[in-house]
Structure 1
Amino acid sequence: MSPAPVPRPLAAVLEGNTPPGVVTWPAGRPAADALTAARDAGWAGALLDLDGVADTSAFMERCAEALRLPSWFGRNWDALADCLTDLSWCPPTRGRLLVLSGWQGFAAAEPEEWRIAEGVVADAVAYWRDTETGLAVVLARGR
């Protein structure tokens, strides 16, 4: 059985037909499928699973671990923004995909902090948009 086709919004980004941005992922489809599609397209990918994260401190720790952020990461919003706009610690590829899963619990527990997180991610996507190695983000509803 062949894998299900990549949803059109992500496929368009990976194919270079649409600028990288923040795209949603179908509920019930494994987030790992987005990473597989990215790797198949020559993109680097990382999964940030926020399941069980209920505060900013845990969010920052999860970012540090899952994204293998550099030692200078200060575990605050400004430092996260710096890491996502200075990707010298992440080898360049055709593009970079960040998949966020399990984020709904954090968004519900800390709505203001989630809005900041969304802003940091959106700013990083915009920063890399017109480069040869764009950054795209998938907001996955499942795991």
Structure 2
Amino acid sequence: MTGPLPAPGLTGLFFGTVPPGVYRLPPTDTAARVMSLAAEADWRASTLRLGGVTDKAAFLDRCATDLDFPEWFGRNWDALADCLTDLSWWREEGKARGYLLLTEGWTDFRKAAPHDARTAEEILGDAVGHWADGESPLAVLLG
């Protein structure tokens, strides 16, 4: 389901030679570098910090806070899918070339709550697929 980011890596992702997807963040890349490259490529990027998150409720709470989801976010899997397939809450003035969701602490979350992590990963993958053919794709890096 989730694989490594293919060559040429982040640059390829941001400039369209690597298709949008749900990828593992290369261990040599840092969140700061990813965010900097995303900004340079005119991608909107947000970080989902999963440190200490060990279950579905905490994951959804963290999504609501870190991603600044709209008030209508119902803190359930369906509402997560809705937010990720309607990015109006994330759009700002002007057009972005793409959207990037970077997670930090994914491995620990997956170890603590494997079933919840699989469900979240499926929803992330579906959202990426939803935006794949649009002008502004969505990509996810699991770090």
Q: Which residue of 1 aligns with 2:96?
A: 93
Q: Give distance in 1, aligned partners of 2:52 and 2:29.
A: 19
**Alpha-carbon deviations, 1:83-135, whole Å to 9, x = none?**
00011111141100000110112211111111000000000000000000100
Q: Give distance in 1, aligned partners of 2:101 and 2:34.
A: 9
Q: Which residue of 2 aligns with 1:107?
A: 110
Runs of 5+ unmatched residues, structure 1? 1-6
Q: Which residue of 1 aligns with 2:3?
A: none
TM-score (norm 2): 0.88
Superposed displacement of residue 8, structure 1 = 2.2
Q: Give distance in 1, aligned partners of 2:31 and 2:23.
A: 12
Q: Which residue of 2 aligns with 1:55?
A: 55
Q: 1:26 to 1:18 in 2, by over 3 A?
A: closer
Q: Give distance in 2, aligned partners of 1:90 and 1:29.
A: 24
Would you say how many aligned residue pairs link Structure 1 and Structure 2?
134
Runs of 5+ unmatched residues, structure 2? 1-6
Q: Give distance in 1, aligned partners of 2:125 and 2:61.
A: 20
Q: Give distance in 2, aligned partners of 1:13 and 1:105.
A: 25
Q: Which residue of 2 aligns with 1:4?
A: none
Q: Do the aligned partners of 1:10 and 1:23 also contact (CA within 8 Å) in 2?
A: no
Q: Which residue of 2 aligns with 1:39?
A: 39
Q: In the alignment, residue 57 of structure 2 is paired with which amino acid?
A: S
Deviating above 4 A after TM superposition, structure 1's stretches of 4 or more consecutive aligned residues are: none
Q: In the alignment, residue 138 of structure 1 is paired with which amino acid?
A: L
TM-score (norm 1): 0.88
Range moving further from structure 2, 117-126 or 86-95:
86-95
Q: 1:62 to 1:119 in 2, by over 3 A?
A: same
Q: Percent identity?
A: 48
Q: Which residue of 1 aligns with 2:127?
A: 124
Superposed displacement of residue 78, structure 1 = 0.5
Q: Which residue of 2 aligns with 1:84?
A: 84
Q: Give distance in 1, aligned partners of 2:9 and 2:126.
A: 19
The structure, 1 or 2, with the larger RCO (C-alpha pairs under 8 Å, 6+ apart) is 1
SS in 1 for 2:9: helix
Superposed displacement of residue 41, structure 1 = 0.2
Superposed displacement of residue 39, structure 1 = 0.7
Q: In the alignment, residue 89 of structure 1 is paired with which amino acid?
A: W
Q: In the alignment, residue 24 of structure 2 is paired with which amino acid?
A: T
